[in-house]
């Protein structure tokens, strides 16, 4: 080649001698122009395939080699393809060699010119025998080898689908030489990786079995590579080949049967052994499934496999030759990985032997072996029953944390993470925290993350967990991510049992006391003190004023993110402690002009909050945060998974809950179940009578000392229902009346607030003793209660006495905070002089329509909003029949319906919207006392339409709002009101 392509050598020399990129580009452009000129043919010299017939073999090969070299340098080559194909079609090896090399590099599988060369490639694979360039001696496999190499390197789905069957035929043909079989196996592997569905496992498995019986180790090595690639995609299809793989391993390991040229430092074909062990790792149940078979052959190959693995474990040792040591240990570690894959189904003596051997390797001086030993021991630690064996090497692993090689230190950290359990957690965490102060920056972030996960996972006392995180912050605060201290806040918030919250608040207050402390400490202290600082405010030196002073000393050195947290904490401190308000007000005043928008907005909103809202509303807005949602995977575990991958031993360890975590989860679930049972019991009591708006809140409970209780007589309930329905749309009336007691109600509303007066009159001839009225709290109502002395007592011995012909009074001030569809419950309890206990469960006529504000809309605006509120979640609709004996539906009847809509439900009549006189439409706004992010009241627009069918004597009530509860509540009130019209 060097004597023939002198022009190519000169061209390469010119490019190497170029002094600048521009000079090289200029030389390449000149050569490309010259080659293009040489390849251009006209007239008789133009071949059928577009090549130049005037070029001799030497010139064509030289110019194509130049194009290949230019392409390898990174320049675009978009011509000369016809000359490449002409070389491929040649019968001379020298030309075909150049042609296939250029074909692999310059053309892609989707190139239109590839169709013209497919037959040539197919012919070279199936009919080998090109002539030599020197003496025309026929060869048997050179053309096949060149064709297979080109197919493997040329991408393109169409090419693969066209030629893959020829590749398979060449691989399995008995006439193919070992060289061709090796290349065909690797070529097919490349095609399968590109298009996995090319080969059907059940059909191809017998052919693989024939290949695995080949005597040539080179063919076996390439075939095993193909087998591993195919089995990785569909393991079950190739499970029958396990005995063949075991037999080959037995020949290499037990009998040392290997050709001399495949011995590597006296180790028989280590690459083939590694590939076979990797293939066997795809079948973790191979031992158990084989033992269940009755076939003696199956048992024989299992015994042979165990013998092979046992011999690898026992005969592998550190060698003076680095190359031999690396090869032997590569086989060893794959054998240990196979033992790990078998898990508990494998022989216990193999696991013990592997552990003993790995314990020896993690103490050697060779860093590569020590690295692999630590890595493999971490995998072995995942198996059941290995914990105690691994703990014996804990001190050795701790020494590896101080290794000069950071990769060894990382593996030691990973192994410590995996071997940690409830028994040794505190010692390992304390050792890691102590070593953190000496660790370099490259590994500190990983150490902090794993220490935080271990401390949470195995903390039998969460106070130890809090102390550990604070140590991490003090030692390496720059490497403590936000996710770590967020997790502390989440755990402390979600575990109100015991004194954890108070302990954390006190500890953080002490930790933030020095002027120089890490900013992460300030952040977590600010959040926790804002939420739970009141738990320690009575302790000496921990008052609200002292908490503000300690936190505010860090204001000047904090960044914007920390100041935003501090601002919210100051607002909560000012809400809890009167003495903090004069201290906080100047801070908010200064920060109203802050350059940071977040701090500016928070300061302005907190400063204006007390002027804009009632004290109760401010109290509600600044109360402690509710518990966080417990996710299946914490943010720390997600971060670990991102860093190490889902298959790592550390991620598998982190995702398995520990005994301490299961215990905490059980406690939380028990508390949640208890809360749900209480809520379900209350709901059952409130819904004892299935009525849209029921005047009865539930069945009376048992009296003190299990005395029988007199409830509401059934004959009174119809009158109660009518009285309750009337009170929903009228300002005053009687709610309940029997021979002993009369309950009257007078109520008035402005916007989201209401004033309800309840009068309890004694109609009997004797005093009513221990008279009490218990109004249940509601999530959607803020209620302030005042009443006759003793009326609101909870105790059975409390209450007031209502003398004959006198009244007890109850005053309720309510503010609605959210839509609702049920009326608040009230229980009235008293005793007569003869000791008879009475309990009447009632409901107050406080319904959603009481907080409506009429809105008048034009017909076009009403219909536009009506259409925009379509949808199942926004609309409620029900048909109601007129009561038996009621008047027929006429215009006078419709006037009463319109009066109910406007005066009773407080809706504005939308004139012009009704297409017929039998339709009434209205609009209103449901007012609440809640605020949005901009400080505006949250209101809900409501629309109602009542359509009458005089012939059927029925009404259809349709309500549409943005909130499902509003739609349901308005519909219920409208239904009961129409029944009474």
Residues of each annotated binding site: 6-7, 38, 58, 62-66
DSSP string, 712-750: --GGGHHHHHHHHHHHHHSSEEEEEE-SSEEEEEEEEEE
Q: Cα 911 from chain centroid?
A: 53
Cα separation values, 745 from 294, 757, 843, 906, Å: 87, 6, 11, 19
Alpha-carbon distances, residue 693 vs 701, 876, 882, 975 (angstroms): 21, 16, 18, 10
User: Exposure pattern of 515-533 as b/e (b: 16+ CB <10 Å)?
Assistant: eebbebbbbbbbbbbbbbb
Integer CA distances (angstroms), 524 to 178, 179, 743, in order: 69, 68, 53
The pairing of beta strand 709-710 with beta strand 837-843: parallel
Task: For residue 332, give the nearest of 274, 375, 249, 248 by alpha carbon.
Answer: 274
| C-alpha 943, offset from chain centre | 40
| Cα–Cα distance for residue pair 593/406, rounded to 1 Å | 49
- Separation CA 880–CA 868 (nearest Å): 26
List C-alpha distances in Å: 421 to 91, 425, 468, 659.
71, 5, 16, 9
- What residue spans of 154-250 are helical by DSSP H? 157-172, 178-194, 201-211, 217-233, 242-249
d(CA 580, CA 147): 85
Tokens of 841: 């469960």
Residues contacting 386, CB < 8 A, separation 6+: 351, 355, 380
If 0-12 CB within 10 Å is exposed, 13-18 middle and 19+ buried, where does residue 69 land? middle
- CB-hemisphere CA count at 13 Å for 630? 12
Please choose, from the candidates 346, 344, 422, 408, the residue with its C-alpha nearest in 3D space to the C-alpha of residue 378. Answer: 408
Residue pair 591/556 in contact by the 8 Å Cβ criterion? no
Cα–Cα separations (whole angstroms), residue 746 to 223, 720, 789, 810: 93, 16, 20, 11
The Cα 8–Cα 10 span in angstroms is: 5
C-alpha–C-alpha distance, residues 122 and 148, integer Å: 10
The length of the chain in residues reads 981
Question: Residue 96 and residue 600: Cα distance in Å, rounded?
Answer: 76
Kindly give, in sequence order, each residue whose CB lies less than 8 Å from that of residue 683, ignoring residues fewer than 6 positions away: none
First to last CA, the chain: 110
Spatial distance between the Cα atoms of 710 and 680, rounded to a whole number of angstroms = 24
Assign 852 to helix, strand or coil.
Answer: strand
Is there a contact between 953 and 889 (Cβ–Cβ < 8 Å)?
A: yes
Kindly report each contact of residues 938-944 with a partner whose C-beta sits within 8 Å and lies 24 or more positions away, as own/partner.
940/819, 940/966, 941/855, 941/865, 942/852, 942/907, 942/966, 942/967, 942/970, 943/862, 943/865, 943/866, 943/869, 944/901, 944/905, 944/907, 944/970, 944/974
Q: Which two tokens stand for residue 90?
A: 């040649």
**Residues 896/973, Cβ–Cβ less than 8 Å:** no
| Tokens encoding 178 | 């070992």
């Amino acid at each position: 080649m060097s004597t023939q392509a002198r022009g190519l050598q000169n061209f390469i020399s010119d490019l190497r001698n170029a002094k600048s990129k521009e000079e090289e580009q200029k030389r390449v452009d000149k050569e490309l122009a010259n080659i293009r000129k040489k390849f251009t043919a006209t007239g008789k010299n133009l071949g059928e395939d577009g090549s130049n017939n005037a070029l001799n073999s030497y010139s064509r090969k030289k110019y194509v080699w130049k194009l290949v070299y230019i392409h390898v340098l990174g320049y675009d080559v978009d011509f000369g393809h016809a000359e490449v194909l002409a070389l491929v079609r040649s019968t001379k090896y020298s030309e075909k060699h150049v042609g296939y090399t250029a074909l692999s590099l310059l053309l892609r599988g989707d190139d239109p010119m590839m169709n013209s060369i497919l037959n040539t490639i197919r012919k070279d694979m199936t009919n080998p025998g090109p002539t030599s360039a020197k003496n025309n001696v026929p060869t048997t496999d050179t053309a096949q080898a060149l064709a297979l190499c080109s197919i493997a390197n040329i991408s393109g789905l169409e090419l693969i689908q066209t030629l893959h069957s020829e590749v398979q035929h060449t691989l399995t043909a008995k006439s193919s030489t070992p060289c061709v079989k090796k290349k065909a196996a690797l070529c097919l592997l490349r095609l399968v990786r590109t298009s996995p569905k090319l080969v059907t496992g059940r059909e191809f498995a017998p052919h693989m079995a024939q290949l695995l019986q080949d005597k040539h180790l080179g063919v076996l090595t390439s075939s095993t590579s193909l087998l591993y690639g195919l089995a990785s995609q569909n393991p079950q299809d190739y499970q029958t080949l396990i005995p063949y793989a075991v037999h080959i391993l037995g020949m290499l390991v037990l009998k040392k049967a290997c050709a001399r040229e495949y011995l590597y430092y006296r180790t028989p074909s280590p690459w083939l052994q590694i590939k076979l062990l990797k293939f066997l790792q795809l079948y973790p149940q191979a031992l158990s499934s084989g033992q269940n078979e009755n076939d003696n052959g199956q048992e024989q190959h299992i015994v042979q496999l165990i013998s092979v693995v046992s011999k690898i474990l026992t005969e592998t040792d550190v060698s003076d030759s680095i190359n031999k040591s690396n090869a032997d240990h590569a086989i060893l570690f794959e054998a240990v990985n196979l033992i790990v894959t078998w898990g508990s189904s494998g022989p216990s003596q193999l696991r013990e032997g592997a552990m003993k051997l790995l314990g020896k390797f993690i103490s050697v001086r060779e860093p590569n072996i020590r690295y692999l030993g630590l890595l493999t021991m971490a995998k072995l630690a995942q198996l059941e029953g290995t914990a105690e064996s691994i703990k014996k090497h804990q001190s050795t692993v701790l020494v590896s944390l101080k290794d000069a090689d950071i990769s060894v230190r990382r593996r030691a950290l990973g192994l410590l993470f995996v071997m940690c359990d409830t028994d040794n957690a505190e010692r390992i965490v304390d050792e890691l925290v102590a070593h953190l102060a000496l660790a370099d920056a490259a590994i500190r972030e990983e150490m902090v993350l794993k220490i935080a996960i271990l401390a949470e996972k195995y903390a039998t006392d969460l106070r130890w967990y809090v102390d550990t995180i604070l140590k991490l912050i003090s030692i390496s605060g720059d490497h403590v991510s936000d996710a770590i201290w967020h997790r502390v806040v989440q755990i402390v918030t979600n575990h109100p049992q015991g004194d954890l919250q108070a302990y954390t608040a006190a500890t953080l207050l002490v930790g933030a006391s020095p002027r120089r402390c890490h900013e992460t400490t300030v952040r977590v202290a600010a959040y926790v003190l804002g939420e739970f600082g009141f738990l320690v405010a009575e302790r000496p030196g921990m008052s609200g004023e002292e908490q503000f002073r300690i936190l505010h000393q860090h204001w000047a050195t904090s960044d914007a993110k920390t100041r935003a947290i501090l601002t919210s904490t100051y607002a909560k401190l000012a809400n809890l402690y009167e003495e903090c308000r004069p201290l906080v007000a100047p801070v908010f005043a200064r920060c109203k002009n802050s350059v940071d928008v977040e701090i500016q907005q928070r300061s302005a909103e907190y400063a204006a909050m007390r002027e804009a809202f009632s004290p109760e509303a401010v109290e509600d807005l600044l109360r402690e945060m509710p518990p966080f949602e417990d996710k299946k995977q914490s943010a720390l575990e997600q971060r670990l998974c991102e860093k190490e991958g889902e298959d790592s031993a550390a991620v598998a360890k982190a995702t398995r809950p520990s005994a301490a975590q299961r215990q905490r989860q059980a406690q939380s679930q028990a508390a949640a179940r208890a809360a749900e049972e209480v809520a379900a019991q209350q709901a059952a009591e409130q819904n004892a009578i299935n009525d849209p708006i029921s005047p009865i809140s539930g069945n009376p409970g048992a009296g003190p000392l299990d005395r029988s209780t007199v409830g509401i007589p059934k004959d009174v309930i119809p009158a109660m229902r009518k009285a309750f329905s009337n009170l929903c749309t009228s300002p005053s009336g009687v709610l309940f009346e029997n021979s002993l007691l009369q309950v009257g109600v007078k109520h008035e509303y402005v916007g989201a607030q209401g004033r309800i007066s309840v009068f309890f009159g004694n109609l009997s001839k004797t005093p009513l003793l221990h008279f009490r009225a218990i109004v249940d709290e509601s999530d959607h109502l803020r209620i302030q209660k005042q009443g006759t002395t003793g009326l609101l007592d909870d105790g059975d011995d409390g209450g007031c006495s209502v003398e004959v012909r006198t009244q007890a009074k109850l005053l309720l001030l309510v503010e609605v905070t959210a839509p609702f569809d049920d009326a608040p419950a009230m229980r009235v309890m008293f005793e007569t002089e003869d000791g008879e206990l009475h309990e009447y469960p009632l409901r107050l006529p406080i319904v959603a329509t009481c907080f409506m504000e009429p809105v008048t809309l034009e017909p076009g605006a009403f219909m536009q909003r009506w259409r925009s509120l379509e949808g199942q979640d926004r609309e409620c609709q029900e048909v109601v029949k007129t009561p038996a004996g009621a008047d027929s539906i006429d215009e006078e009847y419709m006037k009463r319906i319109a009066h109910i809509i406007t005066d009773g439900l407080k809706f504005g009549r939308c004139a012009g919207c009704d297409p017929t006189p039998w339709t009434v439409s209205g609009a209103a706004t449901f007012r609440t006392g809640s605020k949005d992010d901009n400080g505006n009241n949250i209101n809900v627009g409501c629309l109602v339409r009542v359509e009458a069918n005089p012939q059927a004597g029925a009404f259809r009530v349709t309500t549409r709002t943005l909130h499902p509860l509003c739609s349901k509540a308005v519909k219920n009130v409208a239904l009961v009101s129409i029944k009474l019209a």
